[in-house]
A and B are shown apart, each in its own frame.
Chain A
């Protein structure tokens, strides 16, 4: 090959790189490992990370994933394909993405879906940017975020829209209620968009009908942040209020994506047809070929960075194709009724869990009112040490709300999905009882 090129050795191929720049020693790089050695190392590390029973939620949820989902998803034809720019050679991925868009549109009761974004939090940031672009009537670039929104989502929105001259303000929540008070809100003023999460960060259900109507009365677009599993049971954003939400987005992880320390997951974003040209990211359309057969292709590409450059709707190039492959297969496998049963099982389990835990002295629920599959409980003292002791016993007892606001340091957000059994719940209650006893006696 070197002879064909006409050079003496492989180093000659780098002769356009100035000598002064070359020759770093790379001392900190280790020697290469054969597959068997790296396998052993990774197995040891993975084993060290194994956790037992987990009652954590707060934005990522452990669900059963049918075995077929990842068997199919990791087929090389999905796993090692690129973005479907050559449509004729990518009909598999393209049709699958069209099916995904159809499923998400059905689940959210919205008209269109994109082919996914990075994760739930960044999808919300993109939704905020999109709403400000789409709402041409709004005089102010002001966006209201519910106080009951996931606090990390708020941080991500702040980081991503920071340099766009968008003002982010909070809609306060009633502390005792853990939800927004739609009755006492006397209008939202002049805003471009309002962000409401359902169920909210604390698992409480918001009065989404009233909030949506309030937002529309203020001339704002309503952005719904939703859990896709909950939508099999709860009223979908497209049906909220008199006119429905304008954008629905959220974290796709509950649809067949493993927890995997936080990623890769995927974000979804659905909207009305009227706003489709403001949507960030990829969109697949159905069309016909030269012979009149149905086929699928990327469409509306002129919105995207590779064509529109500095005027693109976003700088996004990729979606989370492989994650969406899994989610599509997962949804097909469960169907609407299967997904509804999962939602119900989660909800019943969390109700049973909180009932069992609040039988312990000093443990109580914090909010009344309807919730879905996640609830805040108050411990008889600071949650941190209690959760630590539970972890010592191989049990992750929930999310410590004190991490985001010190006044909530005795509060824990707990979640029991469908994978939790009655025995698991009894075990948690018994273990917590023992831990509280220990702490009570100062051990």
Chain B
């Protein structure tokens, strides 16, 4: 069973989001997402200063068998991206909630994070997905 920290917010497309003290939002993909993608071989991070809208694809993670868009969880401006991932995409597999973070967004409205799922909701969602039919 994959790890779902309770202090984060989640999207239905398997991104996590954390509101930092400086008001920015750090974004990555969940443990569940990295597990189902398998070993990542490439991460394309967004350009700093680009403006993103919630639900807009702004980064790509690539494994041998799949490539998935990473969607911005909130409206805002990209203020930072994790440049280490260019050389070490495996950080996302090893530490998805820590060193494997993908980007940092300055949200237009910090409260918009509240519209995302909490840990319980997300855990419920992925458990349903995994039910064998």
Whether B66 is near chain A, meaning CB under 8 Å from some CB there, is: yes
Whether B83 is near chain A, meaning CB under 8 Å from some CB there, is: no
Whether the Cβ atoms of A302 and B63 lie closer than 8 Å is yes
Whether A301 is near chain B, meaning CB under 8 Å from some CB there, is: yes
Q: Chain B interface: which size bin?
A: 10 to 19
Instruction: Kindly supply a per-residue 1/0 record for chain A positions 135-169, scoring 1 wherever the CB is within 8 Å of any chain B CB and 0 otherwise.
Output: 01000000000000000000000000000000000
CA distance A301 to B41 in the complex (A): 11
Whether A308 is near chain B, meaning CB under 8 Å from some CB there, is: yes
| CB nearest neighbor in B for A312 | B67
Please pick, from B42, B65, B66, the residue contacting A277 in the complex, using a CB distance under 8 A. B42
Instruction: Kindly supply a per-residue 1/0 record for chain A positions 319-346, scoring 1 wherever the CB is within 8 Å of any chain B CB and 0 otherwise.
Output: 0000000000000000000000000000
Whether the Cβ atoms of A302 and B47 lie closer than 8 Å is no
Whether A29 is near chain B, meaning CB under 8 Å from some CB there, is: no
Please pick, from B44, B47, B64, B69, the residue contacting A301 in the complex, using a CB distance under 8 A. B64
A307 and B67 contact, Cβ closer than 8 Å, known pairs A277-B42, A302-B62? yes
Whether the Cβ atoms of A136 and B42 lie closer than 8 Å is no
Name B38-66 residues within 8 Å CB distance of A: 41-42, 44, 47, 62-66
Name A321-377 residues within 8 Å CB distance of B: none
Whether the Cβ atoms of B67 and A308 lie closer than 8 Å is yes
Q: How far is the CB of A158 from chain B (nearest CB, A)?
A: 30
Instruction: Kindly supply a per-residue 1/0 record for chain B positions 67-94, scoring 1 wherever the CB is within 8 Å of any chain A CB and 0 otherwise.
Output: 1010000000000000000000000000
Name A389-428 residues within 8 Å CB distance of B: none
On chain A, the number of residues with a Cβ less than 8 Å from chain B's Cβ atoms is 8
Name A62-113 residues within 8 Å CB distance of B: none
Q: How far is the CB of A146 from chain B (nearest CB, A)?
A: 31
| CB nearest neighbor in A for B57 | A311
Q: How far is the CB of B62 from chain A (nearest CB, A)?
A: 4
CA distance A311 to B69 in the complex (A): 10
| CB nearest neighbor in B for A277 | B42
Please pick, from B47, B63, B69, the residue contacting A136 in the complex, using a CB distance under 8 A. B47
Q: Which residues of B contact A302 (CB under 8 A)?
A: 41-42, 62-67
Q: Which residues of A contact B69 (CB under 8 A)?
A: 311
Whether the Cβ atoms of B42 and A307 lie closer than 8 Å is no
Q: How far is the CB of B57 from chain A (nearest CB, A)?
A: 9
Q: How far is the CB of B38 from chain A (nearest CB, A)?
A: 11
Q: Which residues of B contact A277 (CB under 8 A)?
A: 42, 44
CA distance A178 to B47 in the complex (A): 43
Whether the Cβ atoms of A307 and B66 lie closer than 8 Å is yes
Q: Which residues of B contact A308 (CB under 8 A)?
A: 67
Q: Which residues of A contact B41 (CB under 8 A)?
A: 302
CA distance A277 to B61 in the complex (A): 12
Instruction: Kindly supply a per-residue 1/0 record for chain B positions 106-119, scoring 1 wherever the CB is within 8 Å of any chain A CB and 0 otherwise.
Output: 00000000000000
Q: Which residues of B contact A303 (CB under 8 A)?
A: 67
Q: Which residues of B contact A136 (CB under 8 A)?
A: 47
Q: How far is the CB of A211 from chain B (nearest CB, A)?
A: 29
Q: Which residues of A contact B62 (CB under 8 A)?
A: 302
Q: Which residues of A contact B42 (CB under 8 A)?
A: 277, 302
Q: How far is the CB of A24 from chain B (nearest CB, A)?
A: 42
CA distance A311 to B62 in the complex (A): 13
Q: Which residues of A contact B47 (CB under 8 A)?
A: 136
Q: Which residues of A contact B66 (CB under 8 A)?
A: 302, 307
Q: Which residues of B contact A301 (CB under 8 A)?
A: 64-65
Q: How far is the CB of B41 from chain A (nearest CB, A)?
A: 8
Q: How far is the CB of A135 from chain B (nearest CB, A)?
A: 13
CA distance A73 to B44 in the complex (A): 39
CA distance A213 to B65 in the complex (A): 39
Name A288-311 residues within 8 Å CB distance of B: 301-303, 307-308, 311
Chain B residues near A (Cβ < 8 Å): 41-42, 44, 47, 62-67, 69
Chain A residues near B (Cβ < 8 Å): 136, 277, 301-303, 307-308, 311
Interface CB pairs A-B, < 8 A, 20:
A136-B47, A277-B42, A277-B44, A301-B64, A301-B65, A302-B41, A302-B42, A302-B62, A302-B63, A302-B64, A302-B65, A302-B66, A302-B67, A303-B67, A307-B65, A307-B66, A307-B67, A308-B67, A311-B67, A311-B69
Q: A277-B44, A303-B67 are in contact. List 11 more A-B contacts (CB 8 A).
A: A136-B47, A277-B42, A301-B64, A302-B41, A302-B42, A302-B65, A302-B67, A307-B66, A307-B67, A308-B67, A311-B67
- 6 smallest beta-carbon distances between A and B, as pairs: A302-B67, A302-B62, A308-B67, A307-B66, A307-B67, A302-B66
